[in-house]
């Protein structure tokens, strides 16, 4: 990098950990479903739920580059950004660009929807997500089909995501992957330094995400009576 | 009089079995899938109640009865020629006919487990129902793994 740049922290640890967890979890979720390892599939699905919830909370109170408010832009900004893509300008702000911001929302949204559908899905062996008992058989059938469709849509968006990253790496000569691993990047001096959130904020976000996930995993009881009821029959008993 | 009754009975029986043979494989496949849906729904009916703090035993009984009824019909829904070769969309695997003795045993296991579930439901004790449930669920998976194609 030229001398008119300096090394700065771009992505904080939660953003990076969550990102690479997605990359590991998604193939595992696919594999466990394909191979009938439904017990593990549901456990990993709940982990995915926890990660998505945490990332959404972190999008509200995390570091500046993690916040939705900092990277979700209006359509005019997005279009003028995309028009300018062919020019070889250097970046004007740190973090997700106007187009990338929407792909983050899309990816997180699709993950959230698909986890939600998985929670009410069922298979012919009577293996069910922890909220399946709240919906009818036919609703669950539909949710199960959408759960599969949702995964395929997610795959398509991920292909696009990776294609975009390759485009930046090789065409725009902007290597996005190393900062997603190390957290730091050489930023032009004209760009304001991202503000990292204090580490303690991880704790409340983690607690909320874990509590919500646990509550969903026991069937989302809404009364104390329901809460104190014996746990639901564990499908793994006969698998 | 007695002869007449015997004759009518024989005729009815003959017509009934002829009807089964005359039924198109596609119709049999559709009827068998509808029957499995009944089994799936009643299975879920029992499971849903087990998850509630105050399970409705009447619901469990009704589901257990429907499940036992559907289960007893399973083995009759797989005449030769109603496999993938029939051309209709089915998840039935050729193994059903290649290893027919094993398949029949699987179906008999389901009948036995569903009868046990009926007894458990009639006991009016949710813990008895819960105790009978894993064995019942095991029969579904046991047969599907061997004899049903994945989606
Ligand atoms: C399971 C597949 C994947 C999913 C679900 C996924 C999802 C995401 C999400 C949600 C973000 C936004 C990060 C945040 O702000 O929290 C992101 C960013 C990013 N991802 Fe992925 N990703 C996947 C695979 C990959 C792979 C395989 C690579 C490496 C080639 C990659 C490289 C990146 C990079 C470099 C960024 C930062 C983009 C930027 O600088 O704006 N991702 N990804």
From the CB of A177, is ligand 1 less than 6 Å away?
yes
Query: What is the b/e burial string over B106-128, where b = at least 16 CB atoms within 10 angstroms of the residue's CB?
Result: bbebbbebbbbbbebbeeeebeb
From the CB of A181, is ligand 1 less than 6 Å away?
no
Q: Which residues have CB under 8 Å from A32's CB, separation 6+?
A: A38, A40, A41, A44
Q: With an 8 Å Cβ cutoff, are B50 and A233 in contact?
A: yes
User: Bridge partners of A7?
Assistant: A186
Q: Please name which of B140, B141, B148, B138 lies closest in space to residue B71, comparing C-alpha atoms.
A: B140
| pLDDT single digits (tens) A88-137 | 666 778 899 999 999 999 999 999 999 999 999 999 998 899 999 999 99
Q: With an 8 Å Cβ cutoff, are B52 and A133 in contact?
A: yes
Distance CA A223, CA A227 (A): 6
Length of chain B: 151
Share of chain B above pLDDT 70, in %: 85
Going by pLDDT thresholds of 50, 70 and 90, the confidence category of residue A62 is: very high
Distance CA A150, CA A49 (A): 15
Decide: A176 and A169 in contact? Cβ < 8 Å.
yes
- Provide the 10 A C-beta neighbour count for residue A200: 7
User: Bridge partners of A6?
Assistant: A187
Structure confidence at residue A236 (pLDDT) = 52
| pLDDT single digits (tens) B77-93 | 999 999 999 888 999 99
Q: With an 8 Å Cβ cutoff, are A229 and B43 in contact?
A: no
Q: Whose CA is nearest to atom 9 of ligand 1?
A: A104
Going by pLDDT thresholds of 50, 70 and 90, the confidence category of residue B18 is: very low
Decide: B118 and B68 in contact? Cβ < 8 Å.
yes
The end-to-end CA distance of chain A, in Å, is: 56
Q: With an 8 Å Cβ cutoff, are B53 and A226 in contact?
A: yes
Domains (ranges, CATH) in chain A?
8-238 (1.20.950)
Give the number of beta-carbon pairs within 8 Å between A and B: 58
The end-to-end CA distance of chain B, in Å, is: 55
Distance CA B78, CA B128 (A): 32
Selecting from B52, B135, B140 the residue whose C-beta is nearest the C-beta of A125 gives B140
From the CB of A28, is ligand 1 less than 6 Å away?
no
Whether A157 has a pLDDT exceeding 50, the answer reads yes
Q: Which residues have CB under 8 Å from B138's CB, separation 6+?
A: A238, B113
Q: Rounded to a whole number, what is the distance in Å from the CA of A116 to chain B's nearest CA?
A: 18
Whether B128 has a pLDDT exceeding 60, the answer reads yes
**E strand or H helix at A137, and its extent?**
helix A137-170
Q: Domain segments of chain B: what residues?
A: 24-147
Distance CA B106, CA A173 (A): 62
| pLDDT single digits (tens) A21-42 | 999 999 999 999 999 899 999 9
From the CB of A205, is ligand 1 less than 6 Å away?
no
What is the CATH number assigned to the segment(s) B24-147?
Answer: 1.20.120.10
Going by pLDDT thresholds of 50, 70 and 90, the confidence category of residue B24 is: confident
- Looking at every residue in chain A, the average pLDDT score rounds to 92
């Amino acid at each position: 990098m030229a001398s008119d740049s300096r090394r700065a922290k771009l992505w904080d640890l939660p953003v990076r950990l969550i990102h690479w967890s997605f990359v590991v979890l998604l193939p595992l979720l696919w594999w466990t479903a394909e191979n009938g390892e439904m017990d593990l599939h549901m456990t990993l699905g709940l982990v995915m739920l926890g990660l998505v919830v945490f990332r959404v909370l972190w999008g509200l109170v995390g570091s500046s580059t993690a916040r939705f408010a900092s990277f979700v832009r209006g359509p005019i900004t997005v279009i003028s950004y995309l028009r300018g893509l062919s020019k070889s300008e250097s970046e004007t702000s740190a973090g997700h660009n106007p187009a990338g911001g929407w792909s983050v929302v899309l990816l997180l949204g699709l993950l959230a929807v698909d986890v939600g559908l998985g929670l009410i899905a069922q298979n012919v062996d009577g293996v069910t997500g922890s909220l399946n008992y709240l919906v009818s058989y036919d609703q669950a059938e539909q949710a199960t089909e959408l759960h599969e469709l949702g995964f395929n849509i997610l795959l398509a968006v991920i292909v696009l995501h990776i294609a975009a990253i390759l485009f930046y790496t090789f065409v725009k000569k902007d290597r996005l992957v190393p900062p997603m691993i190390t957290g730091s990047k050489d930023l032009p001096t004209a760009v304001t330094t991202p503000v990292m959130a204090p580490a303690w904020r991880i704790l409340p976000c983690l607690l909320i995400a874990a509590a919500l996930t646990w509550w969903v995993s026991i069937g989302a009881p809404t009364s104390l009576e329901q809460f104190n009821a014996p746990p639901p029959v564990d499908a793994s008993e006969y698998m | 009089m007695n002869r007449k009754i015997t004759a009518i009975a024989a005729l009815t029986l003959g017509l009934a079995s002829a009807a089964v043979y005359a039924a198109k494989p596609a119709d049999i496949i559709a009827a068998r899938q509808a029957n499995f849906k009944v089994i799936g729904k009643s299975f879920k009916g029992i499971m849903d109640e087990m998850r509630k703090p105050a399970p409705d035993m009447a619901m469990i009984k009704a589901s257990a009865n429907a499940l036992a009824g559907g289960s007893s019909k399973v083995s009759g829904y797989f005449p030769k020629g109603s496999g993938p070769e029939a051309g209709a969309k089915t998840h039935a695997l050729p193994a059903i006919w290649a290893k027919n003795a094993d398949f029949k045993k699987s179906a008999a296991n389901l009948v036995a487990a569903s009868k046990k579930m009926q007894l458990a439901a009639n006991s009016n004790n949710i813990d008895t129902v819960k105790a009978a449930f894993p064995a019942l669920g095991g029969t579904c998976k046991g047969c599907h793994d061997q004899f049903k194609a994945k989606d």
